[in-house]
């Protein structure tokens, strides 16, 4: 049975510097820290005519590593779009990070996958149903109500290759001991838009180890998320320079940062 989530407790707080790449103009906006109760949410919205192209979350600590319940995009009955981060049981609070972009003719849609199975690495997968070959996945997120999530990845899960995300799939993976995860994809189109994935090298082991990946010149980061095979995943965020950073939880292993890079 799905649990009732706590009311959102935060609003737009601040933004990072803009990045401009051949007509694609993006900024990161983040929320206040959520309350520490189970399933408490922190939310952040884009401003003006910005479109939300990605949503991620991060649990800054100091304790409770690996207790984050992930993030998802919420669309209200009035069409208001927000990036929501969910705190897990015994968590110390989370922040939501929205990637907000503008470009001529940019439109975005949001899709959610069904709950995955409960076994290790069981997946929830979502894709955007369209025949338009100018539609690309720009963001991929994972959420759960039960803490143990390995994270989210654009399909395929392969750190050694860059993949075009045209009508791509977003995959969320259940962690060992978890009770299911949900995938959340963002799909955008614009004249001459093209997008691809880019993975970091894997991080070192240990609590708080980071992995970082950067889009190449003339490409702009539209989505940033984290993946580990070892469930304790503290999340991801975007630096002012456009770097996508993933932070390992308490699994003593490693984590990957995964960027979606776009240009028009």
Q: What is the pLDDT of residues 60-71, one digit of tens each?
A: 978 888 889 999
**Which pTM was predicted?**
0.89
Q: Do residues 128 and 185 lie in contact, with contact meaning Cβ atoms separated by under 8 Å? A: yes
Q: Tell me the average pLDDT of the chain.
A: 89
Q: Please determine, for residue 112, whether its predicted confidence score (pLDDT) is greater than 50.
A: yes
Planar angle of CA 51, 53, 58, nearest 5 degrees: 120
| Alpha helix stretches (DSSP H) within the chain | none
Residue 213: inside a domain = yes
User: pLDDT tens, 143-186?
Assistant: 999 988 999 998 878 888 898 999 889 999 999 999 999 999 99
pLDDT attached to residue 64: 80
Domain count, the chain: 1
In a domain, 1, yes or no: no
Q: What is the CATH number of the domain that holds 180?
A: 2.60.120.690
In a domain? residue 102: yes
128 pLDDT above the threshold of 90: no
99 inside domain:
yes
Q: How confident is the model at residue 7 (pLDDT cuts 50, 70, 90)?
A: very low
Is position 215 within any domain?
yes
Contact of 163 with 154, CB cutoff 8 Å: yes
CA distance 153 to 140: 6
**Structure tokens that stand for 179 in this block:** 């009770």
Cα distance from N-terminal residue to C-terminal residue, the chain: 43
Grouping H, G, I as helix, E, B as strand and the rest as coil, residue 245 is strand
106: in domain: yes
Range of the domain at 225: 12-263
141 in a domain, yes or no? Answer: yes
**Residue 39 included in any domain:** yes
Token code pair at residue 156: 């395929």
pLDDT at 79: 92
- Average pLDDT of the residues in 13-34: 73
- Rounded CA separation 86/76 (Å): 17
């Amino acid at each position: 049975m799905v649990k009732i989530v706590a009311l959102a407790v935060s609003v737009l707080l601040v933004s990072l510097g803009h990045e401009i790449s051949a007509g694609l103009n993006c900024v990161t906006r983040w929320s206040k820290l959520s309350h520490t109760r189970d399933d408490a949410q922190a939310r952040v919205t884009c401003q003006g005519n910005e479109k939300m192209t990605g949503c991620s979350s991060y649990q800054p600590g100091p304790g409770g590593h690996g207790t984050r319940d992930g993030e998802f995009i919420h669309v209200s009955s009035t069409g208001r779009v927000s990036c929501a981060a969910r705190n897990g049981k015994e968590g110390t609070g989370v922040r939501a990070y929205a990637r907000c972009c503008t470009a001529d003719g940019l439109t975005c849609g949001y899709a959610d996958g069904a709950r995955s199975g409960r076994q290790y690495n069981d997946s929830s997968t979502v894709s955007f149903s369209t025949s338009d070959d100018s539609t690309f996945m720009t963001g991929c997120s994972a959420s759960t109500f039960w803490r143990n999530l390995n994270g989210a990845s654009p399909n395929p899960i392969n750190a050694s290759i860059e993949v075009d995300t045209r009508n791509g799939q977003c995959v969320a993976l259940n962690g060992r001991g978890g009770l299911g995860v949900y995938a959340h994809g963002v799909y955008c189109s614009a004249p001459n838009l093209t997008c691809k994935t880019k993975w970091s090298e894997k991080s070192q082991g240990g609590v708080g180890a980071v992995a970082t990946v950067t889009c190449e010149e003339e490409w702009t980061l539209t989505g940033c998320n984290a993946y580990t095979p070892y469930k304790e995943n503290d999340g991801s965020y975007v630096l002012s320079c456009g770097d996508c950073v993933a932070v390992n939880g308490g699994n003593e292993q490693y984590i990957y940062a995964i960027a979606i890079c776009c240009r028009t």
